[in-house]
């Protein structure tokens, strides 16, 4: 009887303690309504492993890509708060597509994967290899969605569904033009504001040689097409086109394109261009000509003239040399039309094989916090960066602090480029890496983000382009060189002949498929 009473008392005591524990738990939860991670942080469940792709760029001296200043911050501030271990899966940058295809085929791709190639994402979406993200973003990605915005997210929509999360590209300037201001001043000439004025300036550079150099080169050109290319010259010749024509017709068929190449042919035969530009496939000759003070004008990446490999040797060789950015190729609309980067960067996606899709979106959503992005890009003040006029400047990138890509691009998956929450501050931060040239670099950025257009985003791979693209690209380069070199009297017939060959070699098929995809995309918007 006594034993029976004792058992009853023990049961009663257990129920009371359980009730008290429940009340205590409820009070704790109420007191932490603003800290939803507290419950996760104290969870008795074993932690979940969230796997994330990271590029191995093979940088000399790089830290363990899975255990460094930045990955430890991620695990401390996201992993612990979400009862997770964040593990990074390295993929060689030079083999990223091949490696990703292998991992995807084997069902072993990390929970968060990425690529710069939209065609690869489209292919995965087409075979149902990646997850649709609309509902996950709506439920767990509110801050992420707000940060990226509708335009950026639209680049991740394939066949009407959100299949990828594009990073926001914050630096949109692409190409630029530069001219020797000190040469203009010596000649008493103003900045040229259109093609005719530039032509007259180049002639003056040739005939009067204001730098007093042996072998003056009015316009520096190389075979690469980007740095020491023709900038937005061709855009200034293009005539009016419909929206469909502009995005589907190859450059060779654009109205005015023939006249643009004829202009370059004229410059070459008047000795206004680098004489052997087509042989300079590494830009070494063009770099040498610029840094030795022989070149008066050139087109390149928007900031190329300010980079150390150009500005330092140029100043050493020709202290008075002064390249400044310029807009000179005016089109029929009265605009300086030029290409800029699309607002999207890398494409982030979640493979169908992932068991942690919800956590993956939570991770990307966490990263959209300004505090998180700032630390991942700049680290700790006094340790990894210093503040100069309100702009952070990196001071320590060695050992565990090394960033193997600019501003930790490989760890900040939702943004490509500096992100200080203010476009003007972003420009100042971009320009701050050019000491003594900050103002002229800011001007270059602003010039080259004015009157811009971007490459059209096709949400479906062009199979003809996949098949013929490499051949057509090689043909285009050879065609350009031949047309610049050819005797002016033979230009028109050669242009027509080469364009016909180009279209027959796949150009026509690519154009027709572009039209089909474009019209389908337009009809889906209605």
Task: Using the predicted structure, report yes or no on whether residue 491 has a pLDDT greater than 90.
Answer: yes
Tell me the two tokens of residue 303: 């900031």
Q: Transcribe 281-302 into DSSP letters.
A: SSSHHHHHHHHTT-EEEEEEET
Tell me the two tokens of residue 102: 């292998």
C-alpha angle 339-314-173 in degrees, rounded to nearest 5:
15
Task: Using the predicted structure, report yes or no on whether residue 223 has a pLDDT greater than 80.
Answer: yes
Judge whether 347 and 118 are in contact, CB under 8 Å: yes
Q: Transcribe 445-490 into DSSP letters.
A: HHHTTSSEE-----SS--HHHHHHHHHHHHHHHHHHHHHHHS-GGG
Distance of alpha carbon 141 from its chain centroid, rounded? 23
Give the pLDDT band of residue 225 (cuts 50, 70, 90): low
pTM over 0.75: yes
**Model confidence pLDDT, tens digit, residues 396-446:** 789 999 999 989 999 999 999 999 999 999 999 999 999 999 999 999 999
Tell me the two tokens of residue 118: 């939209």
Reply yes or no on domain 175-339+462-525 having CATH 3.40.190.10.
Answer: yes
Give the pLDDT band of residue 459 (cuts 50, 70, 90): confident
Burial 175-209 (b: 16+ CB within 10 A, else e): bbbbbbebbbebeebeebeebeebbebbebbbeeb
Per-residue CA distances from 308 to 142, 282, 312, 378, 435 (Å)? 41, 18, 5, 22, 10
Task: Using the predicted structure, report yes or no on whether residue 262 has a pLDDT greater than 90.
Answer: yes
Q: What are the structural domain ranges in the chain?
A: 48-169+343-415, 175-339+462-525
Q: Across the strands, what pairs with 381? A: 385
Q: Across the strands, what pairs with 168? A: 344, 415
**DSSP state for residue 35 in the 8-state scheme:** -
Strands (E), 46-144: 48-56, 84-92, 113-115
Locus of tokens 């997770």: 84
Residues 260, 114: Cα–Cα separation, whole Å? 38
Q: Which of 289, 321, 285, 288 is nearest to 437 (CA)?
A: 321
Residues 451, 449: Cα–Cα separation, whole Å? 7
Locus of tokens 């027959």: 504
Tell me the two tokens of residue 457: 């985003």
pLDDT computed for residue 500 by the predictor: 98
Stated as kind and residue range, the H or E segment containing 158 is strand 157-158
**Model confidence pLDDT, tens digit, residues 104-144:** 999 999 999 999 998 899 999 999 999 999 999 999 999 99
Tell me the two tokens of residue 189: 């000439």
Query: Under CATH, which architecture does the 48-169+343-415 domain have?
Result: 3-Layer(aba) Sandwich (3.40)
Mean pLDDT, rounded, for 176-184: 98
| Burial of residue 398, with CB atoms counted within 10 A of its CB: 0-12 exposed, 13-18 middle, 19 or more buried | exposed
Residues 85, 390: Cα–Cα separation, whole Å? 35
Kindly report the length of the chain.
526
Task: Using the predicted structure, report yes or no on whether residue 205 has a pLDDT greater than 90.
Answer: yes
Q: Please check whether the two domains, 48-169+343-415 and 175-339+462-525, share a CATH topology.
A: yes
Three-state SS string over 383-428 comes to CCEEEECCEEEECCCCHHHCCCCHHHCCCCCCEECCCCCCHHHHHH
Judge whether 521 and 487 are in contact, CB under 8 Å: no
């Amino acid at each position: 009887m006594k034993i029976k009473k004792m058992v009853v008392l023990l049961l009663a005591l257990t129920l009371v303690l359980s009730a008290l524990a429940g009340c205590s738990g409820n009070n704790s939860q109420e007191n932490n309504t603003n800290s939803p991670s507290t419950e996760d942080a104290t969870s008795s469940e074993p932690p979940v492993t969230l796997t994330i792709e990271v590029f191995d760029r093979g940088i000399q001296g790089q830290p363990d890509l899975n255990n460094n200043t930045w990955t430890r911050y991620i695990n401390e501030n996201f992993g612990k708060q979400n009862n997770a271990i964040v593990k990074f899966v390295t993929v060689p940058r030079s083999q990223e597509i091949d490696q990703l295809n292998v991992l995807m085929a084997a069902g072993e791709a990390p929970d968060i994967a990425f690529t710069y190639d939209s065609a690869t994402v489209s292919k995965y979406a087409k075979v149902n290899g990646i997850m649709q993200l609309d509902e996950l973003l709506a439920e767990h990605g509110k801050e992420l969605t707000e940060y990226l915005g509708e335009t950026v997210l639209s680049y991740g929509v394939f066949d009407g569904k959100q299949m990828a999360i594009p990073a926001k590209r914050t630096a949109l300037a692409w190409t630029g033009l530069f001219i020797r201001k000190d040469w203009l001043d010596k000649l008493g000439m103003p900045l040229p504001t259109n093609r005719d004025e530039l032509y007259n300036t180049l002639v003056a550079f040739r005939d009067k040689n204001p730098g007093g150099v042996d072998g003056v080169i009015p316009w520096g050109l190389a075979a690469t097409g980007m740095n020491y290319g023709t900038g937005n010259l061709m855009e200034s010749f293009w005539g009016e086109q419909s929206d469909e024509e502009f995005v589907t017709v190859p450059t060779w068929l654009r109205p005015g394109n023939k006249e643009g190449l004829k202009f370059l042919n004229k410059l070459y035969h008047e000795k206004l261009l680098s004489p052997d530009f087509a042989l300079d496939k590494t830009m070494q000759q063009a770099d040498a000509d610029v840094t030795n003070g022989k070149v008066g004008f050139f087109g390149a990446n928007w900031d190329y003239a300010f980079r150390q490999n150009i500005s330092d040797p140029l100043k050493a060789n020709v202290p008075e040399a002064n390249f400044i950015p310029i807009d000179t190729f005016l089109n029929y609309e009265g605009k300086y039309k030029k290409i800029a980067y699309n607002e999207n960067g890398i494409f982030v996606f979640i493979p169908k094989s992932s068991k942690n899709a919800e956590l993956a979106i939570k991770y990307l959503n966490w990263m959209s916090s300004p505090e998180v992005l700032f630390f991942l890009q700049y680290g700790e003040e006094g340790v990894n960066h210093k503040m100069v006029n309100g702009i952070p400047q990196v001071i320590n990138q060695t050992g565990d602090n090394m960033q193997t890509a600019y501003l930790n691009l490989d760890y900040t998956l939702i943004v490509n480029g500096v992100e200080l929450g203010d476009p003007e501050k972003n420009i100042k931060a971009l320009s701050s890496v050019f000491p003594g040239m900050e103002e002229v670099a800011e001007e270059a950025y602003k010039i080259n983000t004015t009157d811009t257009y971007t490459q059209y985003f096709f949400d479906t791979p062009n199979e003809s382009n996949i098949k013929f693209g490499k051949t057509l690209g090689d043909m285009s380069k050879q065609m350009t060189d031949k047309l610049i070199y050819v005797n002016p009297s033979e230009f028109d017939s050669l242009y027509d002949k080469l364009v016909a060959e180009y279209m027959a070699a796949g150009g026509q098929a690519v154009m027709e498929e572009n039209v089909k995809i474009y019209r389908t995309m337009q009809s889906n918007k209605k």
